[in-house]
Amino acid sequence: MELYITAFLILALFAILGSGVWIGLALAGAAWIGMALFTNRPVGDSMVITIWGSASSWTLTALPLFIWMGEILFRTKLSEDMFKGLAPWLENLPGRLLHTNIIGCTIFAAVSGSSAATCATIGKMTLPELKKRGYPDGISIGTLAGAGTLGLLIPPSIIMIVYGVMANVSIAKLFIAGVLPGIILASLFMGYTIVWALLNPEKIPPADQYMTFTQKVYQSRHLIPVVSLIIAVLGSIYTGIATATEAAALGVVGSLIIAAVQGDLTRKTFSESLMGGTRLYCMIALILFGASFLTLSMGYIGLPRHLAEWIIGLHLSPLSLIVALMVFFVILGCFLDGISMVVLTMGVLLPTIEGMGFDLIWFGIFIVLVVEMAQVTPPVGFNLFVLQGMTKKDIGFIAKHAFPLFLLMIVMVLLMYFVPEITSWLPQHMEG
């Protein structure tokens, strides 16, 4: 019986989504249908209480602040300065300036919680420069598509905040746990770029100019603003001085100071950043509200318990379950954005995951990684959309060149499974 109810609700959800209704309203609509048809609960009261409970969560206040911080930085010369500071150090590395995509995304990810914002901001600066210097479009766009996903994994991360709220785990611990996997994944991306460059030496243009060590150090002064902001935001969390929400507020103040010092803080940019952040947060909040009501509805119907019993009844090994979930999320990512995927599935999956003994912090980083994979899978890969708009290239072309980096993300998931200390060591060390 539960199988038929599940199938009916999924069909109802996709029918509502297919009619063009916003995702948040579609989730609430499917939840309303489920509760009205299959339970005796008062639907209106349940919906109001659930949505108010989600909206009044103090933890959630970090989300709009980090989004606003990213919007402010998006409108400054920060990305241009990062290129100037990084480029001189990469001239002797195989692949040369291609690494600015990866390192630039890694650095910017530490001050932006969004994959799309990271991809767009760094791409806006690196792609024209790489094209002008003669680097092939395929590898330039492919490395940017993959490295842009680091905006989700390296804290602060919007997805981590959403997961932390849904799973009721410490967002500060999630942030700390994401640092090492983020650095390792960025290193894997750089390793791939080095191998590609060694296999295709004729496609890499010669170095622009030789700089002495002193000149390189002098050029690095352009990195001071972004490094200072990273230290202020993440350092305040890791040292225990500030909570994630307080660090987000600090980040907003810091980004406003940087914009003012660089001469980019005008009435227009302030207004645009505020409205851009408000629009994005309202979209995410509506999805969260609808998903929390759907989670409640499914709980009343009993679907999570039955799904958990069914999964346990399959007697899957922990590794088999992780592989199955990885495939499931990549397929889901073909149709939904990352935040929708997390809020739609966590209410159902978390009891099962806890029952099988997985650490919820580790699972949170795993979820972020598989959502990263979905960012570069057509047809609804957000990074693919961002890059298509910027480069006017076909989505298939971008996806093809991002595929090797997609495979490296799978390698990263397996690394995390077999060496769980990658996620647990730093939070334990910080606590100690």
Query: 342: how many CB neighbours lie within 10 A of its CB?
Result: 27
- Rounded to whole angstroms, the Cα distance separating 283 from 294 reads 17
Confidence of residue 211 (pLDDT cuts 50, 70, 90): confident
179 touches 426 (CB < 8 A) = yes
CA dihedral 81, 82, 88, 89 (to 10 degrees): 160
Q: Mean pLDDT, to the nearest integer, of 56-72?
A: 78
Q: Is the pLDDT assigned to residue 120 strictly greater than 90? A: no
pLDDT, tens digit, 9 for 90 and up, residues 413-432: 999 999 999 998 888 876 55
Q: Which of 43-57, 164-178, 418-432 has the highest mean pLDDT?
A: 164-178
Instruction: Write down the pLDDT at residue 364.
Output: 94
**Backbone phi and psi for residue 404, each to the nearest 5 degrees, phi listed first:** -60, -35
Instruction: Write down the pLDDT at residue 312.
Output: 67
Please provide the average confidence, as pLDDT, over all residues in the chain.
83
Instruction: Write down the pLDDT at residue 357.
Output: 84
Confidence of residue 240 (pLDDT cuts 50, 70, 90): confident
- Rounded to whole angstroms, the Cα distance separating 252 from 78 reads 14
Instruction: Write down the pLDDT at residue 384.
Output: 79
Query: 93: how many CB neighbours lie within 10 A of its CB?
Result: 14
pLDDT, tens digit, 9 for 90 and up, residues 356-368: 888 999 999 999 9
pLDDT, tens digit, 9 for 90 and up, residues 221-234: 888 888 888 888 87
Q: Is the pLDDT assigned to residue 335 strictly greater than 70? A: no
Instruction: Write down the pLDDT at residue 59.
Output: 65
Q: Is the pLDDT assigned to residue 373 strictly greater than 90? A: no
Q: Is the pLDDT assigned to residue 190 strictly greater than 90? A: yes
Instruction: Write down the pLDDT at residue 282.
Output: 83
Q: Is the pLDDT assigned to residue 180 strictly greater than 90? A: yes
- Rounded to whole angstroms, the Cα distance separating 353 from 334 reads 23
- Rounded to whole angstroms, the Cα distance separating 330 from 177 reads 22
pLDDT more than 90, % of the chain: 18
pLDDT, tens digit, 9 for 90 and up, residues 242-273: 887 888 899 899 989 988 988 888 999 999 98
Q: Which of 7-21, 137-151, 324-338 has the highest mean pLDDT?
A: 137-151
Task: Identify whether 156 is preceded by a cis peptide bond (ω within 30 of 0).
Answer: yes
- Rounded to whole angstroms, the Cα distance separating 205 from 222 reads 24
Q: Is the pLDDT assigned to residue 138 strictly greater than 70? A: yes
DSSP codes, 155-202: SS-HHHHHHHHHHT--HHHHHHHHHHHHHHHHHHHHHHHHHHHHH-GG
Residue 418 CB burial class (10 angstroms; 0-12, 13-18, ≥19): exposed
Using the structure block, give the residue that is written with the tokens 């746990």.
177
Integer CA distances (angstroms), 342 to 165, 336, 348, 377, 431, in order: 11, 10, 10, 16, 27
Q: Mean pLDDT, to the nearest integer, of 367-382?
A: 80
Span of 18-27, 116-125, 141-150 with lowest mean pLDDT: 116-125
Instruction: Write down the pLDDT at residue 336.
Output: 66
Residue 204 CB burial class (10 angstroms; 0-12, 13-18, ≥19): buried
- Rounded to whole angstroms, the Cα distance separating 399 from 381 reads 9
